[in-house]
Structure 1
Amino acid sequence: MTWGPAAVALVVLGVLVFALGLAASIALHEVGHLLPAKRFGVKVTQYMVGFGPTVWSRRRGETEYGVKALPLGGYIRMVGMFPPRRGEDPSVVRESSTGIFQTLADDARRLSAEEVGPEDAHRAFWRLPVAKRVVIMLGGPAMNLLIAVVLLGVLTTTIGTALAPTTRVQTVSECVLPATSTATACPADAPPTPAAAAGVLPGDEVVAFDGRPVDGWDALRADIRDAAGRAVPLVVERDGRQVDLTITPIATQVPQLDADGAPVVGDGGAVLTEEAGFVGITPVSERVAQPVTAVPGVVADQVVAVGRVVLTLPLRMVEVAQAAFGSAPRDPEGPIGIVGVGRLSGEFAAIDQFDVTDRVAGLLGVLGGLNVALFVFNLVPLLPLDGGHVAGALWEGLRRQVARLRRRADPGPVDVARAMPVVYVVSGALVVMSLLLLYADIVRPISLLG
């Protein structure tokens, strides 16, 4: 495909819209952490969108708000994320022990203790009750879920998330061919289809069939199948006026359909057929808006789909590597990086086959799906992800509840700092995956153009 100036401008616009949507999603994710943290009295020293060097910042009260150079995430800095060792004075910084894992844990505790001044000791994050810590850490993912519900809700109720057949005619077959025929053109002796013989034209809107108003494509298809061999009246709307026609569906072998309208396949893999009425038309498929009650199902389907990708992420990343460094095809349903998603957004905005509605729907779907991915991925119970902090808090609550039931002493807060080796391993894995996806999105991108 050749990209002209107008197409390039649309690509840039699509990428810009995606970039702004991504930045807003990240910023609101951190707001989801910030608001409950401040509400519960935790001292928050920084609210940052991005990583790396600070591009802009401004201090309001005790919190510095800013934007950093690499828009690949964000964070808020809360004092006292890690508790001291059990029985130690939080204000006393203990010397590290030997051993790399213990050193990492001690360093984390020391840095955490250095952030907490005597006047803020009661405002440390680790001092909060378990429920409040869980609320703070779930605030970010919950914000992404809310954004996804809004975006996918607008898409579902105003434009529609999937194509559905309508009663408007897209094509009219010229002749009748056997169901097993592989011919691409009509033989000279082939009879015309009933629709062609009746004068049905592409673009006609079927209004009534056999004296009854048409209520959707599925109902029309069922009526046609039942009318084999009978001449029935047909009313179509053409150029703003109704045209009366007469059509005689013929009995022919057509694919058997299941309850969902999909062809039924036999044991040998061949599509099963049955004798039914046939006229030779195919419908135009359009996006159909759905009621608000359909939104939870749409969001849930995306959450399940993303969850499956996350659960099989190691295997999926191997497949991405095989595609990036070898000849294996790139799975369009597999993981995709920020560059790849931005590219798809640009293509949605620029491809001529998409009208304005399709382009808006595509961008809403991309941003909605992005927020679903942020929601699901951040719930993974591994530090430094939000789910790791939630898991630590819940484990602490469970230990205390068990101790209470067994009438034992309070075991105290969970020493999250001991998981610092896991933090470095997970962080390293995330960096490697990000770089691999970046490379794959450049050399073997997923494209709407195939």
Structure 2
Amino acid sequence: MTVLLTLLGIVLFAVGLLVSIAWHELGHLSTAKLFGIRVPQYMVGFGPTLWSKRKGETEYGIKAIPAGGYIRMIGMFPPGKDGRVEARSTSPWRSMIEDAREASFEELQPGDEKRLFYTRKPWKRVIVMFAGPFMNLILAVLLFFGSAMAVGFETQTTKVAGVTNCVIDQSEKRDTCKPGDRPSPAKAAGLLEGDRIVAFNGERVSDWNTLSERIRATTGPATVTVQRGGEERELRATLLENRVPKKDADGNVVQPVQYVTAGYLGFESGREVVPLTFGESASRMTDQLQAGAEAVLALPGKIPDLWDATFGDGERKQDSPVGVVGAARISGELMNIDAPPQTILVFFLQLVVMFNVSLFLFNMLPLLPLDGGHIAGALWESVRRHTARIFKRPDPGPFDVAKLMPVAYVVAGVFVCFTLLVLAADIVNPVKLT
């Protein structure tokens, strides 16, 4: 059963991956057609073609390797000085430029002269190239808001899951009481498992972070109002000082764990699946986008640890970069965790959300061959043309993005090497969900 559930998780992730890629390319396709650019191909995946069908002037298909996708647009690069492909030279860099230029004119047909990508105004080209990543962002937002508001996330609540018997310095990391340990204030006050704390010192509380902050800020006598058996009861407790983990402004335990002295009641909070409001969902989605951007920028600094975890005896950190294989393994693990079905569903959707956020952020990097590189080229052309118009100079014409192809090959080579490193790490030392 475990193997079947794991395979189910991997298959579901593969489907989510294909849908995300197809959705991305649909953004490019729809806007290209909107602006009259001819698109001969729309493909999901790379390698040998498994299935294809021509509809109108476009061939739609699925390829064997689900690691990306593409649409082929006519005239991605402007022609050379000879009107099409410049003369060859012995320079390998020049060959790269002209190979790219030639490929963009391979399927040129009569009547295509006015349907070339490079002939469109810069703002139209920006829209075409931005539409792909933007579709990933839209999908991420829809899945996040849908799962967060319709189902919710498992979170700590004010419900009591257990009461500790004594006050234990939490830096000692022990569960059993020793002779001489003081009785916990919660035990002495009569707090019971299953109680839900609804007020502290007369002030209503509805979430764990608020209650935790008030408890930590209090020592001495306090009142704890609980809901028990359908009615509210007021308990009196005397809170004591104890060493507890330090928390940040969001209520999360600081990593690596540090300990501070604070007020202590002595109970374990319960965990429940709680739907978020629209505002809470928007705030958490914003945080996820910010965290994703920081993670993309931090990728170069993670390479040494990733290398050591793959080929050395280093530990694979939880925030280590994960590739398609690693994400598929995590999806397989998801199906086997001991949690309610709705929690597993939300976890899976969040995995797809994170993948789409990564696609959006990664493709917005202003580097060829990424979408952001073409966007940067179109914006630079717009700046050049507007500057020439202001100073009444001749129109400099289209910016020849093909001249950046040597840089694109270098960038692509770096990405391939990084992808292979992550793949190796995901195989020999994968990130574990648990």
What TM-score do you get using the length of structure 1 for normalisation? 0.86
- The reply to whether residue 124 of structure 1 matches residue 116 of structure 2 is yes
- The reply to whether residue 318 of structure 1 matches residue 304 of structure 2 is yes
Query: Residues 47 and 65 of structure 2 are in contact (CA less than 8 Å); yes or no, is this contact kept in structure 1?
Result: yes
When structure 1 is superposed on structure 2, of 130-139 and 189-198 the one drifting more is: 189-198
Residues 339-374 of structure 1 deviation map (CA, whole Å, 9 limit, x = unaligned): 00011111111122x221221121111000000000
Counterpart Cα distance in 2 of 1:373 and 1:180? 37
Counterpart Cα distance in 2 of 1:243 and 1:325? 59
- Structure 1 gaps, min length 5: none
Counterpart Cα distance in 2 of 1:260 and 1:315? 26
Residues 260-300 of structure 1 deviation map (CA, whole Å, 9 limit, x = unaligned): 557899xxx974435x5x54222113343222123343233
Closer, same or farther: CA 202–135 of 1 in aligned 2, 3 Å: same
Letter in 1 for 2:9: G
Residues 109-139 of structure 1 deviation map (CA, whole Å, 9 limit, x = unaligned): 2332332223111101111010100100001
Counterpart Cα distance in 2 of 1:330 and 1:421? 34
- The reply to whether residue 346 of structure 1 matches residue 314 of structure 2 is no
When structure 1 is superposed on structure 2, of 169-178 and 74-83 the one drifting more is: 169-178
After TM superposition, list the pairs within 5 Å mapping 1:265-280 onto structure 2.
Answer: 271-273=259-261, 276=263, 278-280=264-266
Counterpart Cα distance in 1 of 2:78 and 2:24? 25
Corresponding position of 2:354? 369
Counterpart of 2:165 (choices 171, 174, 178) is 174
- The reply to whether residue 97 of structure 1 matches residue 89 of structure 2 is yes
Closer, same or farther: CA 435–196 of 1 in aligned 2, 3 Å: same
Deviation at 1:143, TM superposition (A): 0.2
Query: Residues 195 and 226 of structure 2 are in contact (CA less than 8 Å); yes or no, is this contact kept in structure 1?
Result: no
- The reply to whether residue 204 of structure 1 matches residue 195 of structure 2 is yes
Residues 287-339 of structure 1 deviation map (CA, whole Å, 9 limit, x = unaligned): 43222123343233222222223223233233212210111111221211100
- Structure 2 gaps, min length 5: none
Deviation at 1:60, TM superposition (A): 0.3
When structure 1 is superposed on structure 2, of 400-409 and 173-182 the one drifting more is: 173-182
Query: Residues 36 and 136 of structure 1 are in contact (CA less than 8 Å); yes or no, is this contact kept in structure 2?
Result: yes
- The reply to whether residue 336 of structure 1 matches residue 322 of structure 2 is yes
Counterpart Cα distance in 1 of 2:416 and 2:37? 30
Corresponding position of 1:286? 272
Counterpart Cα distance in 1 of 2:356 and 2:323? 14
Query: Residues 160 and 290 of structure 1 are in contact (CA less than 8 Å); yes or no, is this contact kept in structure 2?
Result: yes
Letter in 2 for 1:365: Q
Corresponding position of 1:400? 385
- The reply to whether residue 303 of structure 1 matches residue 312 of structure 2 is no
Corresponding position of 2:54? 59
Letter in 2 for 1:248: A
Q: CA RMSD in A?
A: 2.9
Query: Residues 73 and 104 of structure 2 are in contact (CA less than 8 Å); yes or no, is this contact kept in structure 1?
Result: no
Counterpart of 1:45 (choices 20, 37, 40) is 40
Counterpart Cα distance in 2 of 1:421 and 1:327? 37
Query: Residues 142 and 375 of structure 1 are in contact (CA less than 8 Å); yes or no, is this contact kept in structure 2?
Result: yes
Paired residue total: 431
After TM superposition, list the pairs within 5 Å mapping 1:145-164 onto structure 2.
Answer: 145-161=137-153, 163=155
Counterpart Cα distance in 2 of 1:177 and 1:287? 29
Deviation at 1:171, TM superposition (A): 1.6
- The reply to whether residue 73 of structure 1 matches residue 68 of structure 2 is yes
SS of residue matched to 1:113? coil
Letter in 2 for 1:156: A
Counterpart Cα distance in 2 of 1:38 and 1:180? 62
SS of residue matched to 1:350? coil
Closer, same or farther: CA 78–341 of 1 in aligned 2, 3 Å: same
Closer, same or farther: CA 226–373 of 1 in aligned 2, 3 Å: closer
What TM-score do you get using the length of structure 2 for normalisation? 0.89
Larger radius of gyration: 1
Query: Residues 147 and 371 of structure 1 are in contact (CA less than 8 Å); yes or no, is this contact kept in structure 2?
Result: yes
Counterpart of 1:384 (choices 362, 365, 369) is 369
Deviation at 1:229, TM superposition (A): 3.8
- The reply to whether residue 418 of structure 1 matches residue 403 of structure 2 is yes
Closer, same or farther: CA 11–177 of 1 in aligned 2, 3 Å: closer
After TM superposition, list the pairs within 5 Å mapping 1:164-243 onto structure 2.
Answer: 165-177=156-168, 184-188=175-179, 190-207=181-198, 215-217=206-208, 220=211, 222=214, 228-229=220-221, 234-238=225-229, 241-242=230-231
Counterpart Cα distance in 1 of 2:388 and 2:199? 73
Counterpart Cα distance in 2 of 1:30 and 1:73? 9
Closer, same or farther: CA 409–253 of 1 in aligned 2, 3 Å: same
Corresponding position of 1:438? 423
SS of residue matched to 1:335? coil
Query: Residues 221 and 236 of structure 2 are in contact (CA less than 8 Å); yes or no, is this contact kept in structure 1?
Result: no
- The reply to whether residue 247 of structure 1 matches residue 236 of structure 2 is yes
Closer, same or farther: CA 402–361 of 1 in aligned 2, 3 Å: same
Letter in 1 for 2:421: L
